[in-house]
Amino acid sequence: MREMTLIQAVNDGLRTALADDSRVILLGEDIGKNGGVFRATEGLCEEFGEDRVVDTPLAEAGIIGASVGLAANGLIPVPEIQFMGFIYSGFEQIVSHVARLRMRSRGRFTVPMVIRVPYGGRIRAPELHSDSTETFFAHTPGLTVVSPSNPYDAKGLLLAAVKSPDPVLFLEPMHIYRAFRQSVPDEAYTVPIGEARVVKEGRHVTVITWGAMVRDVMDAVPKLEAQRGIELEVIDLRTLAPWDEDTVFASVRKTGRAVIVHEAVTNLGLGAELSARIHEHCILDLEAPVARVGGLDVPVPLFQLEDLHAPTYTRIERAIDKVLEF
């Protein structure tokens, strides 16, 4: 076991995947000798060579398209897109080919690839570097979408994604890349895709969140509980598509109240789908309508206003009070 940050756990997961399976190949902009824009691939080119850690031109559509061909011919490509806002030029490849090849070929071809994408804001980056548009991909049949909230899950989910026979979008929350350390096993292990984690058990309100917001919610919990004399149950969704209905529904049936917190804009965000499904399946157990706390419905602003775009403590607090006082 070693104490690692989330970005170090990603690096360790990639190293483990490269060592365990000769079919794994990394590709992306500046991921070779430079080690990647966030250093997620640091040292891997020196260890495994330029044939398996491949620097590419600045061409996201080409990176994704080349990965489709590699995957269809027996390799396991792990392309890196530097920022979520840069993935849009590769969007057509993802929704038209990556997500559809299994169905289009009637199962003759699958696309075992893992698209790594740093996402989210609050790192003081310029425009297009802080998007949180996971809904675009969670909405697309054929894609699995995961997002770790801590170093242990980062390595385990990444290795599970590499073993998946179908494409996985692996969303890495930049805000907590180096925010804290956690013990991570040296050996290979997997965290099951499709299983949420109950981070904290409680009786009065279920808070559902993922990625960087898990840490924000957990930081807010002690004060919220102390002031109101309540116990919050916190769920880290971990897999955004397909998400773990059983864990979410069981928690909501226990507490009767739910608040969904995510960094993406609120309008048509993943929280809307979660809320709709909870109402459809748990309506007779609800003591109040489900509340959502998301990013403001504007593009992520420049850094002076960036912290106001993501859910703040005050907005989470208001949502908790709203479902308690209904």
Report the alpha-carbon distance of residue 185 to residue 310 in Å, rounded. Answer: 32
Phi-psi region of 266 (alpha: psi -120 to 50; beta: other; left: phi over 0): alpha
* Active-site option among 97, 129, 204, 262: 129
d(CA 171, CA 141) in angstroms, rounded, equals 17
The whole-angstrom separation of Cα 27 and Cα 52 is 8
The closest of 241, 238, 239 to 137, measured between CA atoms, is 241
129 carries an active-site annotation: yes
Q: Residue 280's CB: how many other CB atoms inside 10 A?
A: 8
In the beta sheet, which residues pair with residue 27?
54, 79
Strands 168-173 and 197-200: unpaired
User: Residue written as tokens 């790594």?
Assistant: 116
Q: How far is CA 148 from CA 159, 212, 255, 285, 299, in A?
A: 12, 8, 25, 29, 24
DSSP secondary structure of 1-28: -EEE-HHHHHHHHHHHHHHH-TTEEEEE
Taking the C-alpha atoms of residue 291 and residue 279, their distance in angstroms, rounded to an integer, is: 11
Structure tokens at 198: 């109950």
If DSSP states are collapsed to H, E and C, what string results for 275-288?
Answer: HHHHHHHHHHHCCC
Active site residues: 129
